[in-house]
Structure 1
């Protein structure tokens, strides 16, 4: 299999493979969240008992953030142990799943390339990925320490606020845990569960992309090309970087560029030309969410070298307006702004409308904005 055939096989397979990885990530996240729930429920059980034993003077001291009595120090100890357990135990679980994923991903690319995979150390791949920042500067080793510290602080805020405002201990616990009537979606813990979901999915994308890069290098590629997903759920940063060719060993930003990023880098030659086609979905819904009688023209294939910018320019006004928003759409159509003009090229952050106005006051005035 030559390089062009390898590229097409990889483009085709990765589109299907990403769907599989999402399901695999969901399984890993489910395991981590189960442990998070167990640790948190045990903490809340201990906390409730300790709060019940506090006298009024101790409650007043607690609202000031001080832990001076034996009972208050117990509360502090319970919160600290909870934080440490989240940080250590969940990090260990994530590492185990990441080692397995790194080994699997490397073997997967070799299989697509019809090459015999060398002995692959998932741990070595993970350790290398841990040294590389992603999604704006995140590092793998800081995920759960940061999550644990944040949720502990927020729980302490809830406790202090609840005691200060005369809430019952049960009401304080419910603010942290959530209420059964709302399936616990209204509690602090559920907010953290959503953070964990985003962090783990992005971390796994980071491992996959790092593994791909190492594999391209071994397969003899010297350049990589960013391949975003051609659909309405792709972010402006990934859309603006789609098709970008970069020297494989040079220092440059690599996906994941943001949380839940789906962009990958494919090995290529210096000209970045790829053989074959790539799929598109001209909708902001996943394929399974689009009724079959509405799929005509929304789902198809384009040349593999078609960039998101080029593909987007061929879509109808309703799709473009929904993706860009009303004001940016006006700039895109009337001001002849390309989609990359709405993004800070270094940080990948969308420029605010205020920043765009400062950059192009004349256009804003002409458009009556």
Structure 2
């Protein structure tokens, strides 16, 4: 079965909308970050820490941690409500797209999963990200981030105390320096991590809610097809999974890593009627919908290939004598974990020799 152009177009347009929504949701953390900054400065300027005993220090750290917990909890409570609202919208969007994709003359109304089913899918299905956050449920994923940020801040205070730093020096370590526009402070790291967590959580929620709609319509949706973004920022995992199909009730689902942008399109039983002439968007314009990431990359200049996948991998791609299909296979193991260049060389040593990579 081929990709339905109407579904593909709707999916790609929606992916753009979702990236904008992520940016807006990330901005909601700004006032909470300012409150953290202001509260820490107020608390850490009340008395000279250099005269503290260890017991008094631990009391201060408990106070700071309680303060941070309250602020982070208010933010994550708001975020969770926004995510549940988004899940409902995403499930309805997928059902509407599926209904509109039915051929002329075919009477079809896509089923919409219940609110309970959507919420359960979002909260009970683990994130598919690889690495330390892999397999976590949504709420623990968010909670672990807030815990890590609280520990980072209280740890900086504790370390500063034992190193004999002044209150001002500790505050500067947390806030950063004005000369670098505070980009070197712990709170700048907190801000970046907040962006990653929010973006990844939104991608998970959107994916799970849309999958719940696909499952509710499994009589006409036997498979889903992964759709990666065709640009130089796409990760190794997403490049290799682009255009891969999986049964509607099994297989990996995005997000595959923090800040993942990969989405999926439903493959329906009436998709063949729309196969001819289908296209998809890329960084350089519209391309054939049948074109996967590495076939698309093959058509790009060497300089772009080097920037997208790295100069060594790109040289192997161009000069190793491997088919695009074989090169794609070499990017991931059976568990969809990226292979290193050393592992790839062990599987295809002659290709490395042909490419002049010793």
Taking structure 1 as the reference length, the TM-score comes to 0.80
1:352 aligns with 2:340: yes
Equivalent runs, 1:109-188 vs 2, <5 Å = 109-112=94-97, 113-114=99-100, 122=115, 124-134=117-127, 135-136=129-130, 137=134, 138-188=136-186
Q: CA deviation at 1:205?
A: 0.9
CA distance in 1, matches of 2:352, 2:2: 46
Which moves more between the two structures, 270-279 or 34-43? 270-279
What is the distance in 1 between the residues matched to 2:228 and 2:23?
21
Q: In the alignment, which residue of structure 2 is the partner of 1:11?
A: 8
Q: 1:260 matched to which residue of 2?
A: 259
Residues 122 and 194 (structure 1 numbering): CA distance in 2 closer, same or farther, change over 3 Å?
farther
> Which protein has greater RCO, CA pairs closer than 8 Å, 6+ apart?
2
Partner Cα distance (1:117, 1:362) in 2? 51
Give the superposition deviation at 1:225: 1.2
Deviation digits for residues 20-43 of structure 1, max 9, x if unmatched? Answer: 222212222211342243245323
Aligned to 1:299: 285
Alignment of 1:76 with 2:61, yes or no, is yes
The alpha carbon displacement at 1:272 in A equals 8.2
Question: Measured at CA, do residues 190 and 27 of structure 1 come closer, stay the same or move farther in structure 2, by a change above 3 Å?
Answer: same
Pair 181,216 (structure 1): closer, same or farther in 2 beyond 3 Å: same
1:333 has 2:333 as partner: no
Counterpart of 2:234 in structure 1 is 234
Change in CA separation of 1:118 and 1:332 when aligned onto 2, cut-off 3 Å: closer
* Aligned twin of 2:38: 41
Unpaired segments ≥5 residues, structure 2: 101-107
CA drift at 1:19: 1.8
What whole-Å deviation, never above 9, does each CA across 1:293-338 have from its counterpart, x for those lacking one?
Answer: xxxxx32231x22222322223232322222222112221222344
C-alpha distance in structure 1 between counterparts of 2:176 and 2:120, whole Å: 37
User: d(CA) in 2 for partners of 1:8 and 1:264?
Assistant: 15
Flag the 1:242–1:142 CA change in 2: closer, same or farther, 3 A. Answer: same
Compared CA separation, residues 363 and 217, structure 1 to 2 (3 A): closer
Contact 2:8-2:280 at 8 Å conserved across structures: no
1:176: how far off? 0.6
Q: State the alpha-carbon separation in 1 of the partners of residues 36 and 234 from structure 2.
A: 35
How far apart are residue 347 of structure 1 and its match? 4.6
